[in-house]
Structure 1
Amino acid sequence: MTDLETRTAGRPGAPGPPGALRRAAPALLGYAAVRALGLLALVLWSAARDKSAYTLLTARWDSLWYTRVAELGYGYEVRLPNGDVHSNLAFFPLLPWLERLGAAVSPLSYADAGFVVSLLASLAAAWGIFAVADHVYGRRAGGCAVLLWAVLPVGVVQSMAYSESLFTALAAWSLYAVLTGRWVTAGILASLAGLTRPVGLAVTAAVWVAAVVAFGRDRNGRDEPDGPDGPDGPDGRPDVRDRARRVLGMLLAPLGAAGYVLWVGHRTGKGPLGYLDVQAGWRNGFDGGAAFARFVAAKFTSFPAALAGIGLVAGVALLVWLYVVCVRQRQPLPLLVYTGIVTVLALCASSYFGSKPRLLLPAFPLLLPLALGLARLRTSRSAPVVCAVAAASAVYGAFWLNGSGPP
């Protein structure tokens, strides 16, 4: 048996939705309290600067691009004086579709619908993070993981009309479906994640790797715990139907991202890789981290900026260390694959360096080692730590969003 199977073999099957919600309720209430504190700080800070907190959350930066897609469809672009072309084809369609749906069935505007979608999606993401962490490490670690995700310095993005919360919700529940053997569900959610952000390929990769490893175990004749889709066959081998569902999940997983990318290529007349040309218009691409390295190195040319450079180096070192700890703690392979791809794509993008912290929001498995450590503390010790960090996060989020904010 694998290390994951050893940890979970003795646990009861996953509870139904009512039971699962009751199990997650304390974590979700804690999450809601942290986010409410963050929004309160934002409202007070914005009022002191004569700004609208709601406008910051729903009608700036990427939020505007999403609402334009919902209202006008694709085809809108901005030509900059330097020749760059910012096309709304860079933005994947699921969030605008949901905004359009919300506006169609209610009196909400597109921006209002985007805000509601993000609020609901953030709760779904928190629940998904709890489900994954609870399945792997237990209920207390699950609750701590949710709180840590809530108190991230850029956690205010979770409440913005952005796609991070929606993507994280789909990714977390797809990973949970993989871990519990629900292959078709995992494939459908991975496909929807692929319709939400380009990094959806990380979810697809996790589904594929898990399925390939499972087929390898089948071929080697290794026993697996019975999954929710059905017991093993009478000879002890995995049921043929389970294998078929696994294949179907693999086929479904890439359809969302592949479908949109191919459509963009057709729309632009530039073939299957046309989406890369759209991203190039935003001066965004993958260069292995070279541009980011130059950006960090430039910080060391003067003393005040050098402090920021030291902070960036420390932040990257922390991410690497957390991932190494995840590997050493033998997190399930799908989580390691997913987290690795999300982290690499976030750090190695060639533009918009200020966006990297929010691009790392979906990499929630990096928080599991910290959640385990926090879970081992007594509540009398862990609660003050979480409260202090939550307060600091709320203040920083209000300051950040009223300043440079997420580009």
Structure 2
Amino acid sequence: MSATQLRPRTPVDPPRRARASGPRAVAALRAAAPALAVYAAVRALGLLVFWAAASAQGKDPLTRLSGRWDSVWYRRIAADGYGYTATLPDGAVHSDLAFFPLLPALERGLSEVSPLTVGGAGLLVAWTAGLLTAWGVFAVGSHLRGRRAGVVLAALWGVYPTAFVQSMAYTETLFTALAAWALYAVLTGRWIAAGALCVLAGLTRPSAAALIAALTITAAVTLVRECRGGGRVGPALRRNTRMLVGVALAPLGWLAYVVFVAVRENSPFAYFEVQAQWGNSIDGGRALASFIAGLPWPAALGLCAALALLGGLVVLCVRQRQPLPVLVYALAIVVVSLIGAGYFGSRPRLMMPAFPLLLPPAVALLRLRTTVRTAAVLAALACASAGFGAWTLLGSGPP
């Protein structure tokens, strides 16, 4: 069965009677309301704990959310455009061309039409995108495992260990929102919409390559299956015209930015050279192995256990028979996050968009005997996530 033939076990949209009372989007929003409420609650808890901790230390919470680390680079691009470089003490040159343009474009646009500063606009984008992500994650989870699984899946994404980044002027929430809805569009046969969302994702983060791969591989497998079933290539292509258009659209955003950097720097590989200057080149996992080898043995053992847990989640996703586009997307996000040579502390954040990995735990939580027990586990995870987020945001290192 192809991805385009999959149908939800439990409808994401409400019954026909509710649908008739208003537009379909409003009805779908009502269906997702529990997921949005739970997600908003756990993120509000994280913000409250962080705000209290920052105030106790005499630090400005808003500055920590919108004016540190990568947020500074996005804010500068929004205000002044591209062209800034920083030279580090070791001679390394960091260019702002490493950062994709959609978030700073939204920051600039909102700041020009509202009283918000660029930093405030970045937070508004991130918080709004967080809700859209929760809705999209719910839609995917509900499509695959029912509405209750969708709600728990959205909650688990909101209590992910580095979920505090979802409250910062970073690109993770914006990208994950686009990715979740693109995957949902594929699962429901809306290929052109999926391709358009993929274009926007490609203007947001380089990890859009994982989403592009998900669409491309799913389309290829769909065509191969149809042809192996006795169909001819020509008719198969005609039947799947919309799918092919969606796949053709998918890489255009990512490619457009890579070409922009190439033209600006007068080098066809300029974007990859910029990333290499930031230490973000692909090394097949050697940097990760060296990092583990350099740790004290208790820390190395703990990290290996975390990686084993990650591998276990991947196996569970495969055994759960997640649809091909969902599985390819999650696996590609994980692989890209682990085989790069960049700063190791950012790896958990880079894997956060791989929300399908949380679907097996979501289903497991639903097997608890009562809803109260499920809620208690989620509440404990929310408290732990909030505490870790406050500790990290008030620290010195970037997430």
Which of 270, 292, 305 aligns to 1:314? It is: 305
The answer to which of 312-321 and 213-222 deviates more is: 213-222
What is residue 233 of structure 1 aligned with on the other side?
Answer: none
What is residue 260 of structure 1 aligned with on the other side?
Answer: 257
Name the Cα RMSD after superposition: 2.0
Please tell me whether the aligned partners of residues 203 and 338 of structure 1 are also in contact (alpha carbons under 8 angstroms): yes
Instruction: Please give the alpha-carbon distance, in whole angstroms, between the structure 1 residues aligned to 2:219 and 2:302.
Output: 39
Task: For structure 1, list consecutive stretches of 5 or more residues without a partner in the other structure.
Answer: 224-236, 301-305
What is residue 383 of structure 1 aligned with on the other side?
Answer: 375
Which of 253, 256, 272 aligns to 1:276? It is: 272
Please tell me whether the aligned partners of residues 130 and 177 of structure 2 are also in contact (alpha carbons under 8 angstroms): yes
Q: What secondary structure does 2:240 align onto?
A: helix
Quote the offset at 1:38 in angstroms: 0.2
What code does the residue aligned with 1:395 have?
G
CA 78–137 in structure 1, closer or farther in 2 if over 3 Å, else same? same
Task: For structure 2, list consecutive stretches of 5 or more residues without a partner in the other structure.
Answer: 15-23
Q: Does 1:150 align with 2:169?
A: no
Instruction: Please give the alpha-carbon distance, in whole angstroms, between the structure 1 residues aligned to 2:8 and 2:69.
Output: 47
Instruction: Please give the alpha-carbon distance, in whole angstroms, between the structure 2 residues aligned to 1:10 and 1:172.
Output: 18
Instruction: Please give the alpha-carbon distance, in whole angstroms, between the structure 2 residues aligned to 1:362 and 1:345.
Output: 12
- Percent of pairs with identical residues: 53
1:174-213 to 2 correspondences below 5 Å:
174-213=182-221
What is residue 82 of structure 1 aligned with on the other side?
Answer: 90
CA 29–204 in structure 1, closer or farther in 2 if over 3 Å, else same? same
Quote the offset at 1:279 in angstroms: 0.8
Instruction: Please give the alpha-carbon distance, in whole angstroms, between the structure 2 residues aligned to 1:308 and 1:396.
Output: 18
Quote the offset at 1:164 in angstroms: 0.3
Which of 395, 398, 401 aligns to 2:387? It is: 395
Structure 1 residue runs of 4 or more that deviate by more than 6 Å after TM superposition: none
Please tell me whether the aligned partners of residues 3 and 186 of structure 2 are also in contact (alpha carbons under 8 angstroms): no
What is residue 248 of structure 2 aligned with on the other side?
Answer: 251
Instruction: Please give the alpha-carbon distance, in whole angstroms, between the structure 2 residues aligned to 1:72 and 1:341.
Output: 34
CA 295–11 in structure 1, closer or farther in 2 if over 3 Å, else same? closer
Instruction: Please give the alpha-carbon distance, in whole angstroms, between the structure 1 residues aligned to 2:367 and 2:214.
Output: 29
Please tell me whether the aligned partners of residues 3 and 187 of structure 2 are also in contact (alpha carbons under 8 angstroms): no
Instruction: Please give the alpha-carbon distance, in whole angstroms, between the structure 1 residues aligned to 2:146 and 2:156.
Output: 16
What is residue 303 of structure 1 aligned with on the other side?
Answer: none
Count of residue correspondences: 386
What is residue 350 of structure 2 aligned with on the other side?
Answer: 359
Quote the offset at 1:311 in angstroms: 2.1
Quote the offset at 1:406 in angstroms: 2.9
CA displacement 1:263-290 (0-9 Å, x = unmatched): 111111111x211110111122111111
What is residue 77 of structure 2 aligned with on the other side?
Answer: 69
Which of 337, 350, 359 aligns to 2:341? It is: 350
Please tell me whether the aligned partners of residues 77 and 104 of structure 2 are also in contact (alpha carbons under 8 angstroms): yes
TM (normalized to structure 2)?
Answer: 0.92
Please tell me whether the aligned partners of residues 3 and 330 of structure 1 are also in contact (alpha carbons under 8 angstroms): no
Quote the offset at 1:189 in angstroms: 0.5
What is residue 51 of structure 1 aligned with on the other side?
Answer: 59
1:286-325 to 2 correspondences below 5 Å:
286-300=282-296, 306-325=297-316
CA 203–3 in structure 1, closer or farther in 2 if over 3 Å, else same? closer
What is residue 369 of structure 1 aligned with on the other side?
Answer: 360
Which of 297, 307, 320 aligns to 1:329? It is: 320
Please tell me whether the aligned partners of residues 102 and 203 of structure 2 are also in contact (alpha carbons under 8 angstroms): yes
Quote the offset at 1:218 in angstroms: 3.1
What is residue 218 of structure 1 aligned with on the other side?
Answer: 226
CA displacement 1:163-185 (0-9 Å, x = unmatched): 00000000000000011100000
TM (normalized to structure 1)?
Answer: 0.91
